[in-house]
A = this chain, B = another copy of it.
Amino acid sequence: MKEKQSSHVPVQPDERMARLVRLAARGFNRALQLRLQTENVTFGQWIFLRILWQEDGLSQRELSDRAHLTEPTAHTALIKMEELGFIERRNVEGNKRRQHAFLTRKGLELRDVLEPLALEVNDAAMAGLSKKAQEDLRNALSVMIRNLENDEHDAAARGVRVPPTKGNTAN
């Protein structure tokens, strides 16, 4: 059945996929934040905590790489996390440039509380999707991500400066 077409508002098929993807991303973010806030952890802190649970003691640079975020973003998040007592930042073995982040007991303990929340979000999002549908979805998303990365690299190669993302996931 064709989509009903309202009088003077033609569909924009070319933007539909981007819009759906952005809405889905926003849904995930909000659902997770909703849960994190009950533990007074922000989304940004969650990102870095999750990485540190896997590999403690990474440098700021390594953390920003793994998070796919810039260093200033990592910097401010890590400063805040140190203030909150989730991590300790310090140099190691004579290198005074690298600032490594180490989980405190508090930061470590958050893992048991927070990880189940991410699971919950995932389960909520996946309701009604078969294993196969999920697998197909992951594959299709991976293809798009790779395509868009190539697009960005191509643009960079043409000398275009890539602007900030400003996380607008709306629309």
Contacts and interface: CB of A to CB of B under 8 A. Distances in A.
A141 B24 CA distance: 7
Interface in A9-59: 9-10, 12, 14-18, 20-34, 36-38, 43-44, 47, 50, 54-55
A112 B16 CA distance: 18
A166 B37 CA distance: 13
A148 interface: yes
Interface stretch (A78-86, A88-96, A97-105, A119-127): A119-127
A148 B24 CA distance: 8
Contacts of A169: 22, 25, 29, 165, 167, 169
A23 B147 contact: no
Interface residues of A, number: 77
A36 B26 CA distance: 22
Interface in A142-171: 142-145, 147-152, 155, 160-171
A170 B17 contact: no
Contact of A165 (B33, B142, B150): B33
A25 B27 contact: no
A50 B19 CA distance: 12
Contacts of A106: none
